[in-house]
Amino acid sequence: MRKPIIAGNWKMNNTASEGVALVNAIAPLVKDANCDVVVCVPAIDIPAVSEALKGTNIGLGAENVHFAEKGAYTGEISAAMLLEYGVQYVIIGHSERRQYFGETDETVNKRTLTALKAGLTPIVCVGESLEERETGKTEAVLEKQIKEGLAGVEDLTKVVIAYEPVWAIGTGKTATAAQANETIGFIRKTLGEMFCPGCAAATRIQYGGSMNAGNCKELMAMEEIDGGLIGGASLKANDFATIVNFDK
């Protein structure tokens, strides 16, 4: 059985003090969760949130990591910097990074390999645009992202995959539970062909397209869906806790 993982992606929201207040509100609501719980926070919030999470069952994640150990990369954050503050997870290749900041399958691959080498768990995002879905290119796009983004990975089970249909992020649109399950099933099949069926069966794949307090139970009831990468709903303690406690 794959243990579900619910991860909040705060994006560019919450100052350090606001972040501490949010995790202080979330922690008692999710203390008995039957899944892994993670908050992925802006880099500047990491030191304060790391302290606030001590003694809780909530893991700490970053929203990006650079592929170099150190050097002339103004504005970037290295794996070693994250590790010093107890970061365990890192989001890589989010659609917003691809759309606004030039992230490519090649750089996703480099960041993923760097994260794994450092002992971080990468949450690798894949997903298609509305145009790609409507023109029947979903599977081709996902296959390319998976094969190029995960090239050279030795142990697939140390990676979390997040399927985030770009057309369903921040738009209020959501794939139906059946659509999400079918597409994640294709991702798992592709992983099985690239690595091995057993590896794919053991790898957790989240849904990241506007999962919220209202639709989480239906989505999480799907056989292929192992959790969620949560955007807007992760900024509200009660909503995030409802998703985390989807099985109660």
Tens-digit pLDDT profile for residues 221-240: 999 999 999 999 999 999 99
CB 91 within 8 A of CB 125: yes
| C-alpha closest to that of 79 among 125, 101, 46 | 46
Residues of the chain with pLDDT under 50: none
**CATH superfamily ID and name for 5-244:** Aldolase class I (3.20.20.70)
User: Does residue 164 have an active-site annotation?
Assistant: yes
- Contact 45/83 with Cβ under 8 angstroms? no
Catalytic residue among 63, 66, 94, 103: 94
If you count them, how many residues does the chain have?
Answer: 248
Q: How far apart are CA 122 and CA 116, in angstroms?
A: 7
Catalytic residue among 63, 103, 164, 224: 164
Cα gap 169→183, rounded to integer Å: 16
pLDDT at 175: 79
| 66 carries an active-site annotation | no
pTM higher than 0.85, yes or no?
Answer: yes
Provide Rg for the chain, Cα atoms.
17
Inter-residue contact 14 to 24 (CB < 8 Å): no
- Residue in 18, 75, 80 with CA at minimum distance from that of residue 45: 18
Contacts of 162 by beta carbon, 8 Å cutoff, 6+ apart: 7, 91, 123, 124, 125, 126, 205, 206, 207, 208, 229
DSSP assigned state of 163? E
